[in-house]
């Protein structure tokens, strides 16, 4: 641990990913006198920016084995997110670099967004909005339009894959809506048995809404594929606010176009920003909603994130280090 905060060389590689002009960075700036904030960092800029850094904060900049080998003075990586898949944890461990993340900062924002997406699908809001814009309501012989089906969340079965902080928060709100919960068994190989959780196949078969809240790992990569989509009911909906890599996107296109499932709402895609040729972006379907990875991004959440990074750095100075992943 450093003997003094005054000699810390601190670098934030992609601060613009937090839209810092809307936030206070005071708590963070007080954790080191030699902060360098970069709006973004490309692969060919990493070496120079890591050269003298003892502490690096990165939201999405990749810090793999090659990048870490350059950073001779690096002692701490703080990921400005909960997921740490942008850092080679094994390489960090080998070099004695502590890796920490931020946790629980976006629970309220993500939960709100999940239910915004579910309600939008259940009430066919996108289709009705488009109908109003096209003048269909103005031409109606009745006081309302009933062109598209509307379903209630109450009484529906919500399948939850990933029962961490976010999964539990979504489950709590779902109970308030009167939904029946199906909490899927853990996909972690070392997870203890929990008889209150439901086999994944049962969740696929019975859920009216399936909401993903698990990290991206070897076990979860491509979890939503044609094989598992075929198990879902044709009246079911898929919600993903976790990681885009959980879904085989071509298979989801197939499921939506063939009516294998009734609809989907996604806040994440496999590559972000997405390529223009992403098969999901080419669909013009009222039962597909895509938002640009904003479930986490309320101003309150982003401020909590910054303040939690500051707390991690304080713990690095004073010990013990909090939120340590490796």
Active site residues: 243, 272, 293
Residues 305 and 105 sit within 8 Å (Cβ to Cβ) = yes
Cα-flanking dihedrals φ and ψ of residue 30, to 5°?
A: -75, -10
d(CA 138, CA 316): 62
Residues 302 and 28 sit within 8 Å (Cβ to Cβ) = no
Tokens of 166: 């976010």
Torsion of CA 219, 220, 222, 227, to 10 degrees: 80
The neighbouring-strand residues paired with 264 are 238, 288
Q: Give the side-chain half-sphere CA count within 13 A for 17.
A: 21
Tokens of 13: 């590689």
Beta strands 209-212 and 157-161, pairing class? parallel
Residue matched to tokens 């959780």:
197
The dihedral through the CA atoms of 226, 229, 233, 235 has a sign that is negative
Residues 11 and 36 sit within 8 Å (Cβ to Cβ) = yes
DSSP 254: H
Q: Nearest Cα to 15, choosing from 71, 51, 61, 54?
A: 61
Q: Give how far Cα 29 sits from Cα of 106, 280, 312, Å.
A: 22, 40, 13
The dihedral through the CA atoms of 262, 266, 271, 276 has a sign that is positive
Beta strands 98-100 and 76-79, pairing class? parallel
């Amino acid at each position: 641990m450093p003997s003094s905060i005054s000699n810390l060389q601190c670098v934030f590689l992609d601060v613009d990913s937090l839209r810092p002009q809307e936030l206070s960075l005071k708590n963070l700036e007080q954790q080191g006198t030699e902060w360098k904030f970069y709006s973004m960092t490309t692969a060919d800029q990493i070496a120079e920016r890591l050269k003298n850094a003892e502490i690096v904060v990165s939201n999405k900049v990749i810090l793999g084995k090659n990048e870490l080998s350059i950073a001779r003075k690096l002692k701490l990586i703080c990921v400005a997110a909960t997921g740490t898949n942008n850092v080679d944890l094994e390489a960090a461990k080998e070099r004695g670099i502590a890796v920490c993340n931020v946790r629980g900062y976006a629970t309220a924002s993500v939960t709100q967004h999940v239910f915004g997406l579910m309600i939008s699908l259940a009430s066919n809001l996108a289709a009705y909005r488009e109908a109003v814009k096209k003048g269909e309501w103005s031409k109606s012989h009745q006081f309302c339009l009933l062109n598209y089906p509307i379903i209630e969340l109450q009484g529906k079965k919500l399948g939850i894959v990933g029962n961490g902080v976010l999964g539990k928060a979504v489950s709590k709100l779902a109970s308030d809506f009167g939904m029946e919960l199906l909490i899927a068994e853990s996909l972690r190989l070392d997870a203890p048995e929990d008889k209150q959780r439901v086999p994944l196949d049962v969740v696929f078969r019975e859920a009216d809404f399936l909401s993903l809240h698990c990290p991206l790992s070897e076990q979860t990569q491509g979890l939503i594929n044609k094989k598992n989509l075929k198990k879902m009911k044709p009246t079911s909906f898929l919600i993903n606010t976790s990681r885009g890599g959980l879904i085989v996107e071509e298979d989801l296109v197939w499921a939506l176009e063939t009516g294998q499932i009734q609809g989907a709402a996604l806040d994440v895609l496999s590559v972000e920003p997405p390529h223009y040729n992403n098969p999901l972006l080419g669909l013009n379907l009222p039962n597909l909603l895509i938002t640009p990875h904003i479930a986490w991004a309320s101003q309150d959440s982003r401020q909590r994130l910054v303040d939690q990074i500051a707390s991690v750095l304080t713990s690095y100075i004073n010990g013990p280090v909090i939120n340590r992943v490796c």
